[in-house]
Homo-oligomer: A and B are copies of this chain.
Amino acid sequence: MKKVTINSVASHAGVSKKTVSRVLNNEPNVSAATREKVLAVFKELDYTPNPIARGLAQNRSFIIGCLYDNPSKSYITRVQTGALEACKENNYNLLIHPCEFRGEALINNIEQLLQTSRLDGIVLTPPFGDFAELVAFLKSKKIPYARVASALLQDDSISVRSNDEQGAFEITEHLINLGHKSIAFIKGHPDHSATQQRFKGYRRSLASHGIEFDERLVEEGNFSYHSGVDSARSILDLSPRPTAVFASNDYMAAAVLKLATQRQLKVPDDISIAGFDNAPIARHIWPGLTTIAQPVEEMTKQAVTQLISHIAQPQEQPYQVTLESRLITRESTSAIK
């Protein structure tokens, strides 16, 4: 069985392949009769255009690459969901590329990626949007990119983020307003710019209430559940024990909750626990976690939408947006007794 190409269709229909190309792309300037004839031959021969050939001629692939390296699986899932929505609306497809390396190895890895698949653009999810080396590399290769949840930059790139500092401030305010003064804090992954932002918000809230910052209440996590367990152990061993814990994401908060419960502590009566992200786990456990809802899907969707429109029209304005996050109170926090 011979492969059916634009040429077979053209000869079957008795027209030039340019005309076939016209009906394929819904271009004007084709008589209704010709169009129908060609359409009929499409059906008859069961013709599907070859996207690679189209790609070569147009120099594009209609594929966006999504880079990530994130210990929180649910965060990745949400990123993908948003990216996929944007792709779907624009007839693009999404290629996913986790990569665990930093520095030199990372650049080689991306170079390899670009050598095996042509990508029209790349979404950089945390922490990649903050890797200056990588961003410079993409610029030098003239690969369009968009940054999600990265630090603000005064450049011309596409960037969508949410206000981590403000979110952390608000959730700390919530705890302080409940009467808590001894509030432990678990940091996120050091490479993520959100980590510093959330820490800042926590400190700003403490300061605004005249509560002295206490270093002993701060633990270094990395956004993984496992790191939350380790941090929780240290925190619960403190004496006096803090009356509340604010973990930089919900996975780590869930770990604190589990460990506290195992140790026969009542949450929130004995200790209040707050997270960040509003990941699914925040409502899948009991008590449900008080947290900050971050619009991860929406951030990524906007970033990819802008990226795609930038690919089509590179002269557009840079798009830099900061979305709002909001406090969600559940059962894991309560007034101090």
Contact = CB atoms under 8 A, between A and B. Distances in A.
A67 to B, nearest CB: 12
Contacts of A80: 96
Contact of A115 (B51, B63, B84, B141): B51
Given A52-B56, A77-B73, A77-B76, A63 B95 contact: yes
A98 B116 CA distance: 23
> Which bucket holds chain A's interface residue count?
35 or more
A254 B52 contact: no
A319 interface: no
Contacts of A49: 115
Interface string A46-75: 001111110110010111000000000110
A254 B284 contact: yes
Contacts of A315: none
Interface stretch (A149-157, A255-263, A268-276, A294-302): A255-263
B77 A118 contact: no
Given A53-B56, A93-B113, A258 B286 contact: yes
Given A55-B52, A56-B53, A97-B93, A284 B225 contact: yes
A68 to B, nearest CB: 11
By DSSP majority rule, is chain A's interface helix, strand, loop, or mixed? helix
Contacts of A141: 48
Contacts of A116: 51, 62, 91-93
A96 to B, nearest CB: 6
Contacts of A98: 84
A115 B262 CA distance: 54
A286 B84 CA distance: 34
A95 B115 CA distance: 16
A179 B139 CA distance: 66
A304 interface: no
A96 B117 contact: no
Contact of A286 (B56, B261, B280, B281): B261
A59 B93 CA distance: 19
Contacts of A113: 93
Interface of A: 48-53, 55-56, 59, 61-63, 73-74, 76-77, 80, 84, 91-98, 111-118, 141, 225, 251, 254-255, 257-258, 261-262, 280-281, 284-286
20 contacts: A48-B111, A48-B114, A52-B55, A52-B118, A55-B56, A63-B95, A84-B96, A91-B116, A92-B116, A93-B97, A93-B116, A93-B117, A94-B96, A251-B284, A254-B284, A254-B285, A258-B284, A258-B285, A284-B285, A285-B285
Given A55-B55, A77-B77, A94-B96, 5 more contacts: A51-B116, A52-B59, A96-B96, A281-B284, A285-B285
